Structure 1
Amino acid sequence: MYTPCMALDFPLEMSPQVAFPIEMGSCTFLMPHASIRYIREDGYHKKAAIAMAIPGIVVILIVAFVVKPLPLDVLKWVVFIVLLYTSCVMLSPGLIPKELSMDWEEK
């Protein structure tokens, strides 16, 4: 959520100091409502959720002490690289011809 929001904020010439609270607020209000259905229907893998949550604590410390003091120009390029990488990963399955890709049902 943060990278797409930053990608929208930069062309609008918003300061990252102003954009960050907007990102945090949108996730704060979005995530509880979006996750209720998955929790009720037991539609998520509990071990995987814990495996991602625990390293998240370490990542918060890295962000607090490494990313926060970065100059804004460097932060913009980091966000751009993350956005570019994510876009390529999400677009690549759609660009592969159907005869070369394997559906989950075939596995």
Structure 2
Amino acid sequence: TPPFPPRSLLPPQERRSLVAEMKDGEAELARLRSVEGDKLAQQDRAAQLEKEVAMLREKIHHLDDMLKSQQRKVRQMIEQLQNSKTVIQAKDSTIQELKERVSYL
């Protein structure tokens, strides 16, 4: 299972935190790569950071996709509400017209 929640959006501050953590990892990875020598500890840390950065990128991508999906759903709901409001206004107008006709009888 993925390490992130499947159907909930994380708060923007958590997303920013993940992005900052990813950038920190990338920066440390760049520093490790620039150091001369092939120390095993550095190689292990670099591999670990590569995995972490890849996971964080995937998590951010997933969260962005989920956010876009939620935004689409909200836009659709707003459109449905606006359409319903228009229909209700038309029916209210018809009802008012019929009431006026009945009052003349």
TM-score, reference length from structure 1: 0.29
Which is richer in helix? 2
Structure number, greater radius of gyration = 2
